[in-house]
Amino acid sequence: MIHLFSDSDILRFIGQVFGHWVSAWGGIALMIIAMIEALRDKKVPKRLFFGAAIFCLVIAMFQAWRDEYSSAEWRGYEIVRLSADNTRLQQEATLRAGVDSNTRTQERIKIRMQLGQLLARNTAIRETCQKDERPKGFSCQDEWIRWLDQTRKYLSNNMDPSYSIRFRAATGTHMYYKSLPSGKFLDDQDTDAVNVLTFSATSLDQFIREFEN
């Protein structure tokens, strides 16, 4: 069985009817009856008395219904307003999320490009270290130390601390490299520089791959 109205709804309606009836009967109707009795100098007939009471009851029922209708109409408007506000808030949240997502994407692209530049510089130093003829004043030892400091500083200032830790822990198989085109083995300092640069390049390449997604 479907219940259209709850007990609380019925009791509230009856209470509103009673309140309006008391106001209409106790205020307006009794005053009019008293005036009629005063003018006629006799009591009004019972038929008129109870008729006025029933009429006031009907008026009270109408007023109670109008109150409920107005309240329901207001609730309907309020629901529509709240729904519109909720939709607006959801749209604003979606927009902010899109902006935040776009900002994060731009930041990742920027970091990936900077890592790419550091990796390119790493490659250039390694290639120069393995040449017989090097630019005047070029030192493998000085160049890789300068590059290493620059890279560590960038990772520390722009990326999660875990990247700096992984970068410092980079290692690999120690190799011996030859100078081209002569084919002579590099001295110990240059060999160490090329090995460290190679290990570091592997780490940077992995970082770049992680920032592609």
* pLDDT exceeds 80 at position 154: yes
Structural domain for 125, as ranges: 107-210
pLDDT tens-digit map of 187-209? 999 999 999 999 999 999 999 99
pLDDT, position 63: 74
Amino acid identity, residue 63?
Q
Q: How far is 37 from 6, CA to CA, in rounded Å?
A: 44
132 assigned to some structural domain:
yes
Cβ count near 122 (within 10 Å):
22
168 and 113, same structural domain?
A: yes
115 and 85, same structural domain?
A: no
Q: Provide mean pLDDT across the span 177-183.
A: 89
205 and 114, same structural domain?
A: yes
102 assigned to some structural domain:
no
pLDDT, position 145: 92
Could you say which of 42, 59, 94 is where a domain stops? Answer: 94
The model's confidence at residue 61, banded by pLDDT at 50, 70 and 90, is: confident
143 and 63, same structural domain?
A: no
pLDDT tens-digit map of 79-101? 777 776 777 777 776 666 655 66
In the chain, alpha helices (H): 7-23, 30-40, 46-129, 140-158, 161-168, 188-210
Spatial contact of 127 and 177, defined as CB atoms under 8 Å apart: no
* pLDDT exceeds 80 at position 35: no
124 and 43, same structural domain?
A: no
Q: How many distinct structural domains can be found in the chain?
A: 2
Spatial contact of 207 and 125, defined as CB atoms under 8 Å apart: no
Q: How far is 192 from 129, CA to CA, in rounded Å?
A: 11
164 assigned to some structural domain:
yes
**The dihedral formed by the CA atoms of 170, 173, 179 and 181, expressed in degrees to the nearest 10:** -110
SS3 66: helix
199: its two tokens: 């290990």
Contacts of 131 (CB under 8 A, 6+ apart): 179, 180
Residue 2, CA distances (Å) to 5, 8, 65, 96 in order? 9, 16, 22, 45
61 and 130, same structural domain?
A: no
Residue that wins the pLDDT comparison between 65 and 128 = 128
100 assigned to some structural domain:
no
pLDDT, position 171: 82
* DSSP-derived secondary structure letter, 182: T
* pLDDT exceeds 90 at position 20: no
pLDDT, position 30: 63
141 assigned to some structural domain:
yes
Rounded to 5°, angle at Cα 89 from 85 and 94: 150
Query: Which span out of 54-68, 98-112, 178-192 was modeled with the highest average pLDDT?
Result: 178-192
Cβ count near 203 (within 10 Å):
21
115 and 29, same structural domain?
A: no
183 assigned to some structural domain:
yes
Q: Exposure string (b/e) for 45-76, b if CB count within 10 Å is 16 or more?
A: eeeeeeebeeebbebbbebbeebeeeeeeeee
140 and 83, same structural domain?
A: no
178 and 131, same structural domain?
A: yes
77 and 27, same structural domain?
A: yes
